[in-house]
Structure 1
């Protein structure tokens, strides 16, 4: 006669053989015979979690803990399940309970650190990783995650050291790749930029030579080379080398949707187009894409929005309403691409590639006959399954096609249809004194070391002006930039006020209150410039060598207002000085911006230009 232990054993054997259905059936039979066994309920919870039945898994974990509230392993596994369901705060609580019962569990400390990192509490995550290492000095994942946290905070030397420790202990491919891609988020100098780019290429060459094979880039790597685009250099060769490595080392990335084997018919009633991103909510990407998605004529297009985000806000609701179909994709590369393939799209339109890993790795698949990307992250991808990069003739320099692995499409206007922000016209007296207020509201990783010399001259020449920057996402970023400024500017750096992080309303008031906005060279403002010009606030810009440093120039060209476009660094300093010293000129310039800014907002010609491109791209197959 089969007893409860037999069913329990058979369930575990089925689970080990990846037979989740059979394992669940056996475990449920065991529970039916003896529902007071905490260990059986806990194991059933683990199996249900692995099978994706999270609600049922939670029931079993809770039942197990009622029977035995002192088992640290159950709290640990419950934390894993809650983390996978996105309930990070609750998961953190379960790990805390597990650690209180077993402080020597390195994996619990490590996973707790991972949750804290997801919650943007990176400094606390580092403490957790240190405790994991104290519990087990040979626990390689803690060193790897420690390095990732240090990299996020800009401590490249610490990250380099801990990636090396992880590689020495386990030698896994993911740690080697992350070590190779390591770049400073706030560079100390141009020399440091060149040093780490050279390091990246050398390590990539070694990875290519070693003929490595791995299966899951999301879990094993889980990052992109985001910081590369901020160096002000041609990234095409490096981007192509990185993509070539992934294509070679991770065969699972290559996937072709069956419907792509035949050419789409232009005679069909509607073109099926899908827009994909992880940022289709109140984010720059969502704001840049909304009106294009909404504006494509439904008589000609069947529009789908494919979102990797579970954030629900005002903008995600707008995008849901704008789309004919809004699909929330799972954080599983294989399931996501099967879902997209099933839609049998004619065109797959990436709003951005390179900010986060999901869409970057997804782009290695052929999921539509035409696949294109636009300027959400304004740098070439290097990926051979991306056919087109959609940009603008207003922003691209001569010979720009040489900087892209994709075929460059230069529309007549900026490729995004943007609505003017709903500013209420209020300024904020507490943000300024009686002096001209000069603001640079860009993210701190946009501050190229070459900008320091320009800022130093502006500070030197405009002693009565007030200068405000916005602090970084992490205090460590602000500290790194302040340290660099002190070295490159001396005492002049003391005049720069780092404004604490602002909410949406406070940010709008700052933009409207400012007399002058400073644009960052090499990687300039995008949505920031749209917003500043909407507030009639002049943006002084120095166009760079690549599109990512020329967006503000493109907007000014569209407005036919070039007063604040500098020819070189000296001219940039001079324009700022003239505006700081001459209030009449500032007022005149605001009036000029006010009278022409309508040319950059709600530009319906963008939709027509995109439609023309879509139809031509399909015809060219």
Structure 2
């Protein structure tokens, strides 16, 4: 029992505050319970006592890594490797850190050194699935994707020998692959097959599950569980889906909220919205058993691919019907998921080809989003550090969403509008910004002086930033959803160019919901002209803003979104035919 173990170690530490063993034992336990701030503090104290030991800097690096402080993490992880060059685990952690920082070649070199010391197939999978965080070119994207597929094919073909049953290969492909603008289904399916080859026990089935569905009484509410690591706090997933958990009709559903993160705020923020709630815990086997014990009819994973916990849990069969929501709008590649719930207005005609799961695409977005309007006087351009007296084209997307195909759009807008400035938001790590700046310096040349970066900001300043821009630029291939909802909340027009897959068509879907199309482009030239025209024509921009504000009820606090999820769950439970909107 983790609580009992923690209490025991806290008592030991109170008796011996300078005990290296107690500090490290408690720090390791904090890692298990995801108390990363306490973990870092304890590891730091241990490092001061024993600067010759590699474990404390290893834990300090891990704590930085999970909090996305990648450059800081690398310093500690390099120190751990220096102190114990023959211990492969520290090299693997350094490889993960370098991959997250956006140094893929260096990451692979560290993985290779670890594999030379201990040739685990899990680490080979991790090394083979590294991709750049900030892509340098379309050609580079294609090269890395081909490398990933070769690695997966090789692992599927080989007799891999014994894998460590305690280890799970980090799913490097689950997140950044989706930003390349290509169909990820073939790679996702191969990655899942390799994971199962390494760990067949992932395909666990809850005992007695096959008897549960026939025993259900007609007319009983469907027992639904919604699982995620990101339902609490200001994460996009929570902001999109907490309202659904609260508003699903209780005559048709009994709703259990399932926390996969151990977030202490979950009980206060999410628990009261559901009929029941649990924190599944970090350990895979226990989490599966706890979820299976709920006796659910339908288990809904909100955002598989955002982190590892939900991905590895979803290999198991814990409910008769299992679904993925579009929280991370990329197929999981998992045969254990029966359905993928998406959004009909944003899906293309060939959408089913992009998913391993059977696609359910209701017309209305399954979400309940509250517009986050400024509570007082919005900050001015000067207060936000923005140029005054210039036309501002804002692009509020994360750095890894800015695909190389955006570069020609930026260049075209800056050529068209000599008084225009493009405003980007800094990434989570300064190295990401440096990589993006280097790419743009090559692709847009001296126009780079009219691209500025502003600091990341809280929601009040972010909404003021949206209001300060003349027009927002949606990214291609993987566009905004929450960021688009935030810009439209203050009426700022967004120019968008719908892509080939749902994740590049979400802003288009919002405009379709509102019956507006004047900011939707269908080629690069039209994108540039629409952005320029909206930014330079004040009357046109004001009219567009008024039309957006007048149609807010189509996308915010929309009861149709609740019914979309309700109908999707019932479709999955009853096995009704699946149809695109």
Q: Distance in 2 between matches of 1:78 and 1:611?
A: 44
Shift of the alpha carbon at 1:125? 2.2
Contact 2:373 2:463 in 1 (8 A): no
Shift of the alpha carbon at 1:354? 0.6
SS in structure 2 opposite 1:183? coil
With over 3 angstroms needed to count, the CA separation of the structure-2 counterparts of 1:354 and 1:451, relative to structure 1, is: same
1:251 to 195, 200, 213: 200
Comparing 358-367 with 289-298, which one deviates more in the overlay? 289-298
Alignment of 1:498-537 (within 5 A): 498-537=453-492
Aligned counterpart, 1:386: 337
Comparing 555-564 with 501-510, which one deviates more in the overlay? 501-510
Shift of the alpha carbon at 1:98? 3.3
1:548 to 477, 497, 503: 503
Aligned counterpart, 1:25: none
1:122 aligns with 2:77: no
Shift of the alpha carbon at 1:234? 0.8
Alignment of 1:80-119 (within 5 A): 80-119=28-67
Shift of the alpha carbon at 1:109? 2.8
1:353 aligns with 2:301: no
With over 3 angstroms needed to count, the CA separation of the structure-2 counterparts of 1:604 and 1:78, relative to structure 1, is: closer
The TM-score with structure 1 as length reference comes to 0.87
Shift of the alpha carbon at 1:561? 0.5
Q: Distance in 2 between matches of 1:467 and 1:216?
A: 50
1:300 aligns with 2:252: yes
Contact 1:426 1:512 in 2 (8 A): no
Aligned counterpart, 1:471: 426
CA deviations 1:322-353 (Å, max 9, x no partner) are: 10112112011111110110111000111111
1:166 aligns with 2:114: yes
Aligned counterpart, 1:586: 541
Shift of the alpha carbon at 1:246? 1.3
CA deviations 1:517-556 (Å, max 9, x no partner) are: 1100000001111111111110100000000000111110
The TM-score with structure 2 as length reference comes to 0.93
Q: Distance in 1 between matches of 2:131 and 2:154?
A: 17
1:60 aligns with 2:17: no
SS in structure 1 opposite 2:342? strand
Aligned counterpart, 2:287: 336
2:123 to 175, 182, 191: 175
Shift of the alpha carbon at 1:596? 1.6
Alignment of 1:378-417 (within 5 A): 378-417=329-368
Aligned counterpart, 1:235: 184
With over 3 angstroms needed to count, the CA separation of the structure-2 counterparts of 1:452 and 1:369, relative to structure 1, is: same
Shift of the alpha carbon at 1:129? 2.2
Q: Distance in 1 between matches of 2:55 and 2:297?
A: 45
**What is the count of residue pairs matched by the alignment?**
568
Aligned counterpart, 1:133: 81
Comparing 147-156 with 607-616, which one deviates more in the overlay? 607-616
Q: Distance in 1 between matches of 2:49 and 2:104?
A: 35
Q: Distance in 1 between matches of 2:36 and 2:269?
A: 27
Q: Distance in 2 between matches of 1:330 and 1:101?
A: 31
Contact 1:152 1:185 in 2 (8 A): yes
Aligned counterpart, 1:195: 143
With over 3 angstroms needed to count, the CA separation of the structure-2 counterparts of 1:87 and 1:260, relative to structure 1, is: closer
Aligned counterpart, 1:148: 96
SS in structure 2 opposite 1:148? helix
Aligned counterpart, 1:602: 557
Shift of the alpha carbon at 1:251? 1.2
With over 3 angstroms needed to count, the CA separation of the structure-2 counterparts of 1:119 and 1:601, relative to structure 1, is: closer
Contact 1:543 1:566 in 2 (8 A): yes
Q: Distance in 1 between matches of 2:56 and 2:68?
A: 19
Alignment of 1:451-490 (within 5 A): 451-490=406-445
Larger Rg: 1
Contact 2:372 2:489 in 1 (8 A): yes
Q: Distance in 2 between matches of 1:363 and 1:134?
A: 37
With over 3 angstroms needed to count, the CA separation of the structure-2 counterparts of 1:142 and 1:206, relative to structure 1, is: same
Shift of the alpha carbon at 1:370? 1.1
Shift of the alpha carbon at 1:177? 1.5
With over 3 angstroms needed to count, the CA separation of the structure-2 counterparts of 1:94 and 1:593, relative to structure 1, is: closer
Comparing 527-536 with 91-100, which one deviates more in the overlay? 91-100
Structure 2: gaps (5+ residues): 577-581
Aligned-residue CA RMSD (Å): 2.1
Aligned counterpart, 1:434: 389
Contact 2:305 2:332 in 1 (8 A): yes
With over 3 angstroms needed to count, the CA separation of the structure-2 counterparts of 1:511 and 1:217, relative to structure 1, is: farther
Shift of the alpha carbon at 1:150? 0.8
SS in structure 2 opposite 1:279? coil
Shift of the alpha carbon at 1:121? 3.2
Contact 1:178 1:221 in 2 (8 A): yes
Comparing 457-466 with 423-432, which one deviates more in the overlay? 423-432
With over 3 angstroms needed to count, the CA separation of the structure-2 counterparts of 1:392 and 1:384, relative to structure 1, is: same
Shift of the alpha carbon at 1:316? 6.8
With over 3 angstroms needed to count, the CA separation of the structure-2 counterparts of 1:466 and 1:266, relative to structure 1, is: farther
With over 3 angstroms needed to count, the CA separation of the structure-2 counterparts of 1:130 and 1:215, relative to structure 1, is: closer
With over 3 angstroms needed to count, the CA separation of the structure-2 counterparts of 1:460 and 1:109, relative to structure 1, is: same
SS in structure 1 opposite 2:361? strand
With over 3 angstroms needed to count, the CA separation of the structure-2 counterparts of 1:582 and 1:360, relative to structure 1, is: same
Shift of the alpha carbon at 1:472? 0.1
Contact 1:181 1:225 in 2 (8 A): no
